[in-house]
């Protein structure tokens, strides 16, 4: 054995690389570099752009670096409003999607007949591209011909609206369309989470005189806590980033009432053609959503007694 090992011994420099503690890191180095390149480079470019002055209406200013875009941002009332709309949109879609997904998951978990069909029905909206979702809801919301107003004709005391044109209804209307499109993501997670809860716990709870609501409150919810926490983060980011539904349905209107950060960024880049200011708004969006997610994580209780996970 020893002699064989001896015969194949590598030169000492190579053996340090391959046999030493650095070996695992050397193995993943190419992947790390690749990831760093793919993820890091566009970010760095966005940061660089936000300090530059690339605006097609003032081409001469290009190459002037400084904090002027950030100064402008701090003084821009539209940016504050957009931040508020994005946050509202995010909160609305998270609450709507979690509520919708949880309801759907609870409804379909025990169905025996056509269970596949029921699940597919709830997953279907997810397969619809956001652009198509926007078109579908645009037609449904239409003040004159939309199916929503037609249905409301049968409901006393609630009048039809120009949903996307009224200031008060535009943002909620967008949120409903977004929820319809994205809640299936949460739905499949919840369905999987529900399946993992042993039936025996519900049987014990029934024997222990818990009613349906108490079973939900004391068995289901505690077991789903971790999944809900993860889903909320996912939905927060999705909500903050969403663009196509808003852009197609209202374009930020009426009169800026739905102009979220993403729409404002788009307008800055492709209407005003001020790419550097758009990049600055983009940086604001990243920082704001990161802070919201971190803030949410702080709100979650630490793992310990009373936790499932």
Partner 1 sequence: MASVEFKSITKRYDALDVLNDVDISISDGEFVVFVGPSGCGKSTLLRMLAGLEPITAGSISISSEVVNALPPRDRDIAMVFQNYALYPHMSVGHNIGFPLRMVGTPKPEIERRVSEAAEMLGLTPYLARLPRELSGGQRQRVAMGRAVVREPSVFLFDEPLSNLDASLRVRMRGEIKRLHQRLGTTMIYVTHDQIEAMTLADRIVVLRGGKVEQIGTPLELYNSPASPFVAQFIGSPAMNIFEGTMDDECFVRITETRIALGTRPSGISSGAPLLVGIRPHDVALGDPGRGTLSGELQLVEEMGNARLLTIQVGGTSVQIETQHQIALLPGATVHLTMPPEKLHIFPK
The residues near 235 (Cβ < 8 Å, ≥ 6 apart) are: 93, 94, 97, 98, 182, 185, 186
- Only one of the segments 13-21, 86-94, 197-205, 252-260 lies at the binding site for partner 1 (rule: CB under 8 A); that segment is 197-205
Which parts of 265-304 interact with partner 1 (CB under 8 A)?
Answer: none
Q: How far is the CB of 113 from partner 1 (least distance, A)?
A: 14
Q: How far is the CB of 219 from partner 1 (least distance, A)?
A: 7
Distance from C-alpha of 199 to C-alpha of 194, rounded to nearest angstrom: 10
For residue 239, CA distances in Å to 40, 66, 96, 179, 214 come to: 23, 31, 11, 9, 31
Q: How far is the CB of 216 from partner 1 (least distance, A)?
A: 13
SS3 24: helix
Structure-token match 């808003």, residue found: 246
Q: How many residues make contact with partner 1 (CB under 8 A)?
A: 21
Q: How far is the CB of 146 from partner 1 (least distance, A)?
A: 45
Q: How far is the CB of 124 from partner 1 (least distance, A)?
A: 32
- Only one of the segments 9-17, 38-46, 202-210, 258-266 lies at the binding site for partner 1 (rule: CB under 8 A); that segment is 202-210
Q: How far is the CB of 112 from partner 1 (least distance, A)?
A: 12
Question: Please, are residues 250 and 174 in contact by the beta-carbon 8 Å criterion?
Answer: yes
Interface pick for partner 1 out of 8, 200, 298, 302 (rule CB under 8 A): 200
By CB under 8 A, residue 110 contacts partner 1: no
For residue 60, CA distances in Å to 57, 68, 121 come to: 9, 16, 55
What is the radius of gyration, based on Cα positions, of the chain? Answer: 26
By CB under 8 A, residue 196 contacts partner 1: no
Distance from C-alpha of 262 to C-alpha of 282, rounded to nearest angstrom: 8
CA 8-14-18 angle, to 5 degrees, is 90
By CB under 8 A, residue 223 contacts partner 1: yes
Interface pick for partner 1 out of 115, 211, 272, 303 (rule CB under 8 A): 211
By CB under 8 A, residue 195 contacts partner 1: no
- Only one of the segments 31-39, 51-59, 196-204, 244-252 lies at the binding site for partner 1 (rule: CB under 8 A); that segment is 196-204
* Nearest CA-CA partner of 72 in 246, 281, 239: 281
Interface pick for partner 1 out of 210, 233, 286, 293 (rule CB under 8 A): 210
The binding site for partner 1 (CB under 8 A) comprises 198, 200-201, 203-211, 214, 218-219, 222-223, 305-308
């Amino acid at each position: 054995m020893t002699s064989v090992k001896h015969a194949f011994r590598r030169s000492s420099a190579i053996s340090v690389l391959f046999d030493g503690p650095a070996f695992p890191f050397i193995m993943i180095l190419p992947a790390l570099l690749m990831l760093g390149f793919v993820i890091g480079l566009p970010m760095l470019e966005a940061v660089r752009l936000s300090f530059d002055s690339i605006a097609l209406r003032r081409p001469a200013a290009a190459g002037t670096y400084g904090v002027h875009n950030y100064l402008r941002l701090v003084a821009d009332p539209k940016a504050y409003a957009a931040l508020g709309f994005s946050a509202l949109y995010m909160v609305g879609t998270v609450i709507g999607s979690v509520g919708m997904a949880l309801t759907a998951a609870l409804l379909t978990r025990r169905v025996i007949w056509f269970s596949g069909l029921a699940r597919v029905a709830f997953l279907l909206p997810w397969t619809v591209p956001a652009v198509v979702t926007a078109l579908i809801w645009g037609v449904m919301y239409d003040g004159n011909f939309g199916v929503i107003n037609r249905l409301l004709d049968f409901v006393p005391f609630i009048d039809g609206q120009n949903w996307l044109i009224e200031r008060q209804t535009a943002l909620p209307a967008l949120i409903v369309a977004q929820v319809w499109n994205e809640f299936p993501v949460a739905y499949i997670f919840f369905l999987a989470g529900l399946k993992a809860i042993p039936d025996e716990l519900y049987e014990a709870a029934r024997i222990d005189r818990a009613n349906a609501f108490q079973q939900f409150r004391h068995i289901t919810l505690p077991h789903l806590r971790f999944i809900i926490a993860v889903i909320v983060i996912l939905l927060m980011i999705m909500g903050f980033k969403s663009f196509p539904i808003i852009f197609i349905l209202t374009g930020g209107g009426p009169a800026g009432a739905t102009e979220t950060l993403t729409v404002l960024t788009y307008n800055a880049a492709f209407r005003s053609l001020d790419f550097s200011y758009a990049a600055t708004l983009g940086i604001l969006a990243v920082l704001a959503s990161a802070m919201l997610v971190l803030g949410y994580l702080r709100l979650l209780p630490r793992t310990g007694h009373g936790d499932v996970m």
